[in-house]
Amino acid sequence: MQAVERVMRECPVIPVLVIRDPAHARPVAEALVAGGLRTLEVTLRTPCALEVIAEMAKVEGALVGAGTVLNAGDMERSVRAGARFIVSPGLTETVVKSAREHDVPLLPGVANASDIMRGLDWGLNRFKFFPAEASGGMAALKALSAPFGEARFCPTGGITEASAVNWLALPSVLCVGGSWLVGAGKPDVVAITERARAASGLRPE
């Protein structure tokens, strides 16, 4: 099994995290792991994101990755901080080459058939479908999955707690990315754990 597929199959929901205070990093990670979600994507959307990755990587059981990786510099800094997988909103040769140079699993973003074909040309067949709802939602992913039978996806962008299970029921979907698990501000660890526990059981029968 590909390394990136192991990441995707670890949990049905990958929390997509925007953490603005490094002091919140460990409590959030501990609460998510306690609720059964150990695969955590920390987006590089805040000045403290790399510090957050480093802190979360210290939490036992956490598999921490970096999201919003746009270039080779982001890749290098993320891996150095402790990221064990990489998520990008798009698919570029620079990011693919950098991931291979660092020997780190990569989940690149695709939104259409041309993106997927370019990824297949580079030997990739595991993708983030992004932005999922804005790109046509489940109907679009069903249509895209038909000609690309070997491809598997992690839809992200507009996925909600209510809609996640429907996405997960699609044969081509291995997991979804969710931003509903952790709210802004000081973390409510009890609520985060409860939401994580509910999300960890979302796989359809």
Structure tokens at 71: 């270039």
Catalytic, out of 128, 142, 161, 194: 128
Between CA 178 and CA 158 the distance in angstroms is 8
Respond yes or no: is residue 41 known to be catalytic.
yes
Respond yes or no: is residue 128 known to be catalytic.
yes
Phi then psi dihedrals of residue 40, to 5 deg: -120, 130
> What Å distances lie between residue 40 and 30, 59, 111, 112, 139, CA to CA?
11, 11, 22, 26, 27
Between CA 33 and CA 56 the distance in angstroms is 10
Catalytic, out of 41, 142, 161, 186: 41
Q: Give the angle 114-45-199 at the CA atoms, nearest 5°.
A: 80
Burial 37-73 (b: 16+ CB within 10 A, else e): bbbbbbbbebebbbbbbbbbbebeebbbbbbbbeebe
The residue with tokens 């660890």 is 189
Give catalytic residue positions.
41, 128
